[in-house]
């Protein structure tokens, strides 16, 4: 054999062996491989994965079918593909995670959620879907692959194909589990003695008389976290049946899911039932019809899951440990006994004892067990019906026409009974009330496509033309409130009580209907599976924009080259296949409030004129802006896909995503009399990234092994704000004011505040910190206070010295899945994480001086040399150590989480056949077993609708142990 080096376009050099293989022999082998090649969804069609030119990540049923459902099917995407970030919004049952495709696309026009398309139906969420019903999930990440969806696709597209029936015998399957979860971590909060020590010290440091006695007399005190955290059960049961013949096939499923929360499970829980039917019927050889139908009902109770203004979590963190959970030795023993005497509506436990009321920590902070008693009559519910019918006509062997009608009908609402109660001076109800709200919304669409597919020698051509019409927000709602019911028990509360008219109130509303029309076309071409081309154009018209900008055009093009299919590419054992691909596309975004281009007079501005009679008033809704236009997101992607050593798959993508004319509301002075601030095209933003997916799969006899890993890097930068504004304040927190900004040249949602240079250890250091005029830079400082960086050098510490303290958006996201199997045993290990971001820890109420602290405060400055990171404690805080934003509140958000470990055993087929089953598998799973992080809060995985990484008392995810089984007949 002769050894030589082959170079292809200077990109790859491989060492190969020349042997007695001809180009024709190689093409024959490729042809055989292509017969079993993976097919992926590309939007209104399918394509061989080897010929895909866009950035599409595919997740198959086999990748997720063994993972226990987390209540939301979005969660299974976490860590399984580079470029998609799935971050928990809360550990509260039923809460949807935050899903982002290739970073943040907009900072004002709607959420940054991707477009969800289930079996061709565009939906606003997939919480109604059974995880086991999913056949595949394709993530269209770049402009070229997503452009077929035009104005709706700027934030990425996720296509979900559900399972369909197959001809043959009936197949029945069951997958279910039962699990128990608990909190994996508790905060280290001050006990009674420590709390009294810290509070007395803060008062002493300001020369004030302490309000507490000898700290040692208080002992350990109340552990409020112990009172709110509980074990939580979780169960899921999913059944499906499918089958059919040459003419008709069907797939039907039913699911039941029930999960309790780990925080006060009586008022934190979620239940869901759903049913689904898919069917396809070949009426004639040239005509196929079909339908999908899904129904889902949910009922949930929830607590404030990331908010500092009340709720069980925030209260448990902030309440003093001196207040008892229940007063068992008489209210006269309490320092605030007058609260009980003067307010007889205080809440009692089942034994009639009063729940403790804090004499020190007030406002929204309340005894969480008393709070629970007032929330038992609250719940939310939804009913969703999603349906699709289609007909596909085969005009000849190359041309087909498909028409579909899609619809979603949703009902949702909530009910709440608020009893007469007294929780604190700021939380009380002197009369009871029963509230019910019911809303409904109907959305429908119709789409028609004409496709042509043919092969001319070595030329393969697929052409698609399409048209769609979409109606949104056909909606209405109404609410009713009854007050002063003759019962104070939520179980007896009813609207059937005959109460006086003045105790009855009602309200109703109608939605603003909008619509969109679209035309689209796509050409997919390849020559001999070597030279690949895809071109797409979509034209969308939306009623959300005025006549100047009704229509937008969204073109895209991508190219690919299967280098390894060339005759000059040698058969070798190193690089078995190699493909280059690249593309460019323009996408849109119209996710703004309705009719923002126009100025309407709307009700709600009532007034008095010359007397005390209230008259119905109208005011302009906003400022007219006929030039309001689409956000546009252009994306360039270049990539390489390789198979190495027959068992390794590697793909690398580099991209730049540029959003221009970003839509966001701008603040206008109140004296203009507008009801709403107007939307404007105010800015531009870039997302640059690198994605790497690497997989290995091998089998040795009875032993099989596979590993799949992914890593993504993201750099986000705001490049323009209107009128050359340097920044826009973004998120705020209590007395700190704005804690993050949208600032030109920096990442979305970057944290801004003072940079601390340590702590003044003595008066000499304060006196030495002077400006050019010889004046003290921090004249109010005392030893033990933070030393702030004078960032602009003007000799004064103020807001102009705020500097970038880090981004809330992770720079790196990663995931790793390992699968092992030996004979009938299998093992799966899944880990995921992120790095390069900061978390703002806002767990303590800054406006409540007596709120509790974490034990880290015991390391505060108490004298020269005692601390250089935690300032002294005071009541007045003249130096604003804790009442202004600084890097003191930020921590690294890096983490690596062992998300899932599962051990399974499949019964031998002979044993399964004894009950008529074809397969029976049992498994044990551990979820969220361990998290490696330096973050000191409950959970470093913190998302949010607009902002990442702000911990306001985040509801943590549970550590859960699950036992499950799957059976197939």
Confidence of residue 10 (pLDDT cuts 50, 70, 90): very low
Q: Are 675 and 695 in contact (CB under 8 A)?
A: no
* pLDDT at position 657: 96
Mean pLDDT score across all residues of the chain? 91
Closest CA to 264 of 427, 434, 378, 422: 378
pLDDT above 90 covers a percentage of the chain that reads 77
Kindly state the DSSP code that residue 779 receives in the 8-state scheme. T
CA–CA gap between residue 672 and residue 686 (Å, rounded): 34
More confident residue, 679 or 453: 453
CA–CA gap between residue 189 and residue 844 (Å, rounded): 11
* pLDDT at position 674: 72
Q: Is residue 189's pLDDT more than 70?
A: yes
* pLDDT at position 615: 76
Q: Is residue 22's pLDDT more than 60?
A: no
Strand, coil or helix: what is 563? helix
Any idea which of 612-616, 759-763, 774-778 has the lowest mean pLDDT? 612-616
CA–CA gap between residue 485 and residue 506 (Å, rounded): 16
Closest CA to 326 of 305, 354, 368: 354
Closest CA to 321 of 461, 222, 429: 222
* pLDDT at position 740: 94
Name the token pair of 699: 């089998």
* pLDDT at position 252: 96
Residues 6+ away with beta carbon under 8 Å from 108: 662, 663, 664, 665, 679, 682
CA–CA gap between residue 52 and residue 556 (Å, rounded): 14
CA–CA gap between residue 386 and residue 371 (Å, rounded): 37
CA–CA gap between residue 288 and residue 398 (Å, rounded): 16
* pLDDT at position 669: 76
Mean pLDDT of 41-60: 91
Q: How deeply is 471 buried, as exposed, middle or buried, from its count of CB atoms within 10 A (0-12, 13-18, 19+)? A: middle
CA–CA gap between residue 431 and residue 439 (Å, rounded): 26
Q: Give tens-digit pLDDT for 361-395.
A: 989 999 999 999 999 999 999 999 999 999 999 99
Q: Give tens-digit pLDDT for 237-251.
A: 999 999 999 999 999
Q: Are 263 and 313 in contact (CB under 8 A)?
A: yes
| Neighbouring-strand partners of residue 236 | 177, 257
Angle CA(348)–CA(351)–CA(354) in degrees, nearest 5? 30
DSSP codes, 407-428: EEEEEEEEEEEE-SEEEETTEE
Q: Are 718 and 725 in contact (CB under 8 A)?
A: no
Q: How far is CA 418 from CA 301, 427, 483, 638, in A?
A: 14, 12, 9, 58
Q: How deeply is 58 buried, as exposed, middle or buried, from its count of CB atoms within 10 A (0-12, 13-18, 19+)? A: middle
CA quadruple 58, 60, 62, 63: dihedral, nearest 10: 40
- Look at the chain and count its residues: 969
Name the token pair of 862: 């108490």
* pLDDT at position 752: 97
Q: Is residue 29's pLDDT more than 60?
A: no
Q: Is residue 907's pLDDT more than 90?
A: yes
- Mark residue 529 as left, alpha or beta (left: phi above 0; alpha: psi -120 to 50; beta: remaining): left
Confidence of residue 591 (pLDDT cuts 50, 70, 90): confident
Q: Is residue 584's pLDDT more than 60?
A: yes
CA–CA gap between residue 390 and residue 928 (Å, rounded): 42
pLDDT above 70 covers a percentage of the chain that reads 95
* pLDDT at position 152: 87
Helical residues (DSSP H) of 817-926, grouped into ranges: 909-913
Instruction: Count CB-CB contacts under 10 A for residue 316.
Output: 26
Residues 6+ away with beta carbon under 8 Å from 721: 682, 683, 727, 728, 742, 744
Q: Is residue 578's pLDDT more than 50?
A: yes
Kindly state the DSSP code that residue 51 receives in the 8-state scheme. G
Any idea which of 66-75, 165-174, 343-352, 834-843 has the lowest mean pLDDT? 66-75
Mean pLDDT of 875-890: 95
CA–CA gap between residue 261 and residue 183 (Å, rounded): 10
Confidence of residue 565 (pLDDT cuts 50, 70, 90): very high
Q: How far is CA 45 from CA 120, 329, 388, 453, 463, in A?
A: 10, 73, 17, 11, 10
Kindly state the DSSP code that residue 794 receives in the 8-state scheme. S
Angle CA(270)–CA(274)–CA(277) in degrees, nearest 5? 165
Mean pLDDT of 878-902: 96
Closest CA to 275 of 251, 247, 258, 299: 251
Angle CA(530)–CA(532)–CA(535) in degrees, nearest 5? 170
CA–CA gap between residue 385 and residue 162 (Å, rounded): 16
CA–CA gap between residue 751 and residue 804 (Å, rounded): 6
Q: Give tens-digit pLDDT for 116-134.
A: 999 988 988 898 888 889 9
Kindly state the DSSP code that residue 370 receives in the 8-state scheme. H
Name the token pair of 377: 């009559």
Q: Are 465 and 538 in contact (CB under 8 A)?
A: no
CA–CA gap between residue 749 and residue 718 (Å, rounded): 10
CA quadruple 943, 946, 952, 953: dihedral, nearest 10: -40
For strand 950-951 and strand 838-841, is the pairing parallel, antiparallel, or unpaired? Answer: parallel
Q: How deeply is 247 buried, as exposed, middle or buried, from its count of CB atoms within 10 A (0-12, 13-18, 19+)? A: exposed
* pLDDT at position 946: 65
Could you give the count of Cα atoms lying within 13 Å of 511 in the half-sphere of its Cβ?
Answer: 16
CA–CA gap between residue 935 and residue 263 (Å, rounded): 21
Could you give the count of Cα atoms lying within 13 Å of 697 in the half-sphere of its Cβ?
Answer: 6
Q: What are phi and psi of 643, to 5 degrees?
A: -115, 125
Name the token pair of 256: 């039941």
* pLDDT at position 619: 76
Q: Are 263 and 301 in contact (CB under 8 A)?
A: no
DSSP codes, 672-694: G--SSPPEEEEEEEEEEEEEEEE
Q: Is the dihedral of CA 847, 848, 854, 857 positive or negative?
A: positive
């Amino acid at each position: 054999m002769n050894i030589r080096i082959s170079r292809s376009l200077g990109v790859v050099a491989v060492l190969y062996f020349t042997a007695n293989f001809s180009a024709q022999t190689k093409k024959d082998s490729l042809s055989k491989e292509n017969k079993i090649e993976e097919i992926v969804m590309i939007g209104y069609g399918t394509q061989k994965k080897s010929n895909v030119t866009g950035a599409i990540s595919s997740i198959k049923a086999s990748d997720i079918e063994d993972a226990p459902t987390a209540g939301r099917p979005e969660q299974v995407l976490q860590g399984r593909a580079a470029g998609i970030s799935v971050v928990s919004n809360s550990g509260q049952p039923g809460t949807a995670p935050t899903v982002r495709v290739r970073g943040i696309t907009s900072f004002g026009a709607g959420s940054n959620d991707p477009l969800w398309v289930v079996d061709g139906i565009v939906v606003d969420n997939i919480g109604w879907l059974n995880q086991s019903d999913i056949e595949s999930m394709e993530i269209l990440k770049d402009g070229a692959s997503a452009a077929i969806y035009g104005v709706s696709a700027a934030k990425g597209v996720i296509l979900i194909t559900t399972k369909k029936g197959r001809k043959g015998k009936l197949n029945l399957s069951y997958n279910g589990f039962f699990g128990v979860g608990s909190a994996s971590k508790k905060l280290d909060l001050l006990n009674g003695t420590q709390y009294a020590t810290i509070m007395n010290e803060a008062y002493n440091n300001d020369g004030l008389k302490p309000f507490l006695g000898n700290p040692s007399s208080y002992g350990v005190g109340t552990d409020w976290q112990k009172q709110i955290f509980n074990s939580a059960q979780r169960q899921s049961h999913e059944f499906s049946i499918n089958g059919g013949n040459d003419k008709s096939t069907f797939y039907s499923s039913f699911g039941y899911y029930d999960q309790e929360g780990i925080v006060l499970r009586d008022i934190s829980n979620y239940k869901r039932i759903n049913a689904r039917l898919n069917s396809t019927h070949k009426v004639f050889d040239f005509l196929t019809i079909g339908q999908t139908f899904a129904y889902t009902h949910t009922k949930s109770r929830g607590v404030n899951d990331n908010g500092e203004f009340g709720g069980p979590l925030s209260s448990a963190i902030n309440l003093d440990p001196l207040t008892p959970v229940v007063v068992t030795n008489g209210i006269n023993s309490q320092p605030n006994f007058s609260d009980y005497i003067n307010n007889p509506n205080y809440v009692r436990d089942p034994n009639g004892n009063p729940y403790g009321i804090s004499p020190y920590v007030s406002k929204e902070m309340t005894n969480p067990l008393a709070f629970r008693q007032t929330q038992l009559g609250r719940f939310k519910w939804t009913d969703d019906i999603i349906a699709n019918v289609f007909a596909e006509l085969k005009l000849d062997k190359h041309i087909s026409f498909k028409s579909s009608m899609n619809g979603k009908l949703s009902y949702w609402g909530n009910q709440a009974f608020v009893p007469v109660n007294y929780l604190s001076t700021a939380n009380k109800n002197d009369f009871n009330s029963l509230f019910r709200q019911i809303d409904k919304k109907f959305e429908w669409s119709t789409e028609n496509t004409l496709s042509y597919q043919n092969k001319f020698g070595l030329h393969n051509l697929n052409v698609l033309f399409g048209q769609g019409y979409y109606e949104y927000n056909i909606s209405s709602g109404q609410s009713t409130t009854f007050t002063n019911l003759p019962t104070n028990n939520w179980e007896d509360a009813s609207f059937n009580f005959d109460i006086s008219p003045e105790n009855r109130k009602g309200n109703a509303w109608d939605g603003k209907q909008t619509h969109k029309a679209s035309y689209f076309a796509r050409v997919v071409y390849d020559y001999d599976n070597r030279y690949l081309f895809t071109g797409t154009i979509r034209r969308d018209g939306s009623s959300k924009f005025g006549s100047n900008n009704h229509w937008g055009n969204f073109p895209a093009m991508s190219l690919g080259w299967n280098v390894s299919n060339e005759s000059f590419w040698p058969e070798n054992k190193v690089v078995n296949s190699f493909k280059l691909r690249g593309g460019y596309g323009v996408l849109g975004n119209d996710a703004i409030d309705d009719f923002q281009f126009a100025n309407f007079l709307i009700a709600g501005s009532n007034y008095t004129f010359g007397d005390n009679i209230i008259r119905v008033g109208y005011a302009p809704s906003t400022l007219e802006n006929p030039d309001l236009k689409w956000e546009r997101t252009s994306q360039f992607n270049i990539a390489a896909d390789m198979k190495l050593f027959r068992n390794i798959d590697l793909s690398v993508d580099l991209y730049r995503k540029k959003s221009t004319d970003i839509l966001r509301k701008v603040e206008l002075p109140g004296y203009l009399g507008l009801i709403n601030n107007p939307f404007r095209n105010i800015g531009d933003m870039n997302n640059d990234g690198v994605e790497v997916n690497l997989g290995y799969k091998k089998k040795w006899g009875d032993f099989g092994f596979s590993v799949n890993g992914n890593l993504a890097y993201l750099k986000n930068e705001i490049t323009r704000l209107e009128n050359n504004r340097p920044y826009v304040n973004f998120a705020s927190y209590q007395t700190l004011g704005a804690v993050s900004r949208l600032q030109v040249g920096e990442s979305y949602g970057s944290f801004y505040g003072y940079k601390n240079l340590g702590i003044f250890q003595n008066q000499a250091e304060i006196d030495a910190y002077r400006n050019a005029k010889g004046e003290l830079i921090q004249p109010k400082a005392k030893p033990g206070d933070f030393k702030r960086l004078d960032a602009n050098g003007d000799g004064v510490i103020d807001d102009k010295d705020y500097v970038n303290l880090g981004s809330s958006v992770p720079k790196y996201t990663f995931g790793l899945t390992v699968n092992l199997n030996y004979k009938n045993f299998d093992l799966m290990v899944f880990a995921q994480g992120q790095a390069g971001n900061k978390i703002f820890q806002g767990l303590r109420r800054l406006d409540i001086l007596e709120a509790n602290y974490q034990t880290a405060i015991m390391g505060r400055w108490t004298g020269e040399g005692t601390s250089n990171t935690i300032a002294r404690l005071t009541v007045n805080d003249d130096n604003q150590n804790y009442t202004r934003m600084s890097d003191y509140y930020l921590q690294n958000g890096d983490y690596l989480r062992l998300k899932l470990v599962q051990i399974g055993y499949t019964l031998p087929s002979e044993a399964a056949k004894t009950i008529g089953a074809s397969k029976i598998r049992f498994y044990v799973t551990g979820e969220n077993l361990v998290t490696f992080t330096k973050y000191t809060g409950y959970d470093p995985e913190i998302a949010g609708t607009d902002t990442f990484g702000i911990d306001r008392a985040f509801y943590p995810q549970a550590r859960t142990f699950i036992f499950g089984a799957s059976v197939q007949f």
